[in-house]
Structure 1
Amino acid sequence: MVTIHAMTPEDDAEWRALWNGYLAFYEARLDAETSAAAFDRLLDPASPVHGAFARDERGDAVGLVHWLTHPATWTRTDYCYLEDLFVAPAARRAGVGAALIAHVVTWARQHGSAKVYWLTEETNETARALYDRVATRSGFIQYQVKLTD
């Protein structure tokens, strides 16, 4: 049985372990200051960025999710963007990812968001199998112009 809870300052070490696993999965590197700033945002009640952990029956953190809301021009309410979702490899295919997504969807409903959306790499077949079960594929293709490294 997985439980979901908001992140607290005491979760720092477990968050960093999962965060580093997430970055490694995407072959990404962030400097320590950027990662520290991300965790600080997750804890700041004034920040639009939120985070939660999934814990297994032993209480170990086995997944994380980060999300934020933003105004949109196609609705009078906000959209909720699920920015980061990661489940530790040993806990995959056990419902952890679905529970984390459901947590964000519930939160977004409670806060009046018009929709929850997210991105993933085309090659992330494991995650896409889950996403195809819990959401509708939008058909849009993302483009970006990087402004910083």
Structure 2
Amino acid sequence: MTIEVRELSATDYDAWLVLWNGYLDFYSENLPEGLTDLSWQRIINPEFNLHGLGAFEDGNLLGIVHFNFQNSTISVNGFVLLEDLFVSSAARGKGVGRKLIDAVKARAQAAGCSRLYWDTDRTNETARRLYDTYVQEAGKVQYRLKLL
């Protein structure tokens, strides 16, 4: 399996949407109308701090990752938040997720960032098996205060 990881472009929308909807279904997310389109426009806008990469094999999109750069009071060049990672069910276990994480890691290192971080549900055992090969859980507890 030869996998190419590259930035998502406007022509990838239809394939991205299939994976994005899979991601939303997995997490039982129902987004407000228009938010998916807004997110896509942000991802492909080089001026906006939301980036998207895709893992492709023979032109077929197998997985996606979204990330952004964050300022920090404890780091000169900040951190990178890996926000969303999703691999098609047919491609899971074939190294696609690892290639996507490694691509984000490389971009974070190139920018001089001191940390790459992400979170997942405690029950997401499949993803956690991959994540645990990078680093052990940080032991942090995340609190979410809904504002809207």
Structure 1-normalised TM-score? 0.96
1:50 corresponding residue in structure 2: 51
- 1:91 aligned to 2:91? yes
2:12 maps to 1:11: yes
Q: Please give the alpha-carbon distance, in whole angstroms, between the structure 1 residues aligned to 2:10 and 2:59.
A: 16
Give the equivalent residue in structure 1 for 2:28: 27
Give the share of equivalent positions with the same residue, in percent: 37
Matched to 1:35, the amino acid is T
Residue deviations 1:73-110, cap 9 Å, x none? 11111110000000001100000000000000001011
Query: Aligned partners of 1:17 and 1:84: how far apart in 2?
Result: 14
Give, in angstroms, the shift of residue 2 of structure 1.
1.2
Kept after mapping to 1: 8 A contact 2:77/2:111: no
Aligned equivalent of 2:62: 62
**CA shift for structure 1 position 130:** 0.2
1:98–1:134 CA contact under 8 A, matched in 2: no
Provide the residue aligned with 2:144 in structure 1: 144
Cα root mean square deviation, aligned = 0.9
Please say if residues 55 and 62 of structure 1, whose CA atoms lie closer than 8 Å, have aligned partners that are also in contact: yes
Mapping 1:117-132, distance limit 5 Å: 117-132=117-132
Structure 1 partner of 2:74: 74
Provide the secondary structure at the position in 2 that maps to 1:105.
helix
**Which amino acid counterpart does residue 19 of structure 1 have in structure 2?**
W
Counterpart amino acid of residue 123 in structure 1: T
Find the aligned partners of 2:33 and 2:13 in 1 and give their Cα distance. Answer: 13
Query: Could you list the runs of 4 or more consecutive aligned residues of structure 1 that deviate by over 3 angstroms after TM superposition?
Result: none
Residue segments in structure 2 that go unaligned for 5+ positions in a row: none
Q: How many residues align?
A: 147
Q: Is the 8 A contact 1:55 1:61 kept in 2?
A: yes
Cα distance in 2 for residues equivalent to 1:124 and 1:43: 28
Separation in structure 2 between the aligned mates of residue 2 and residue 139 of structure 1, nearest angstrom: 33
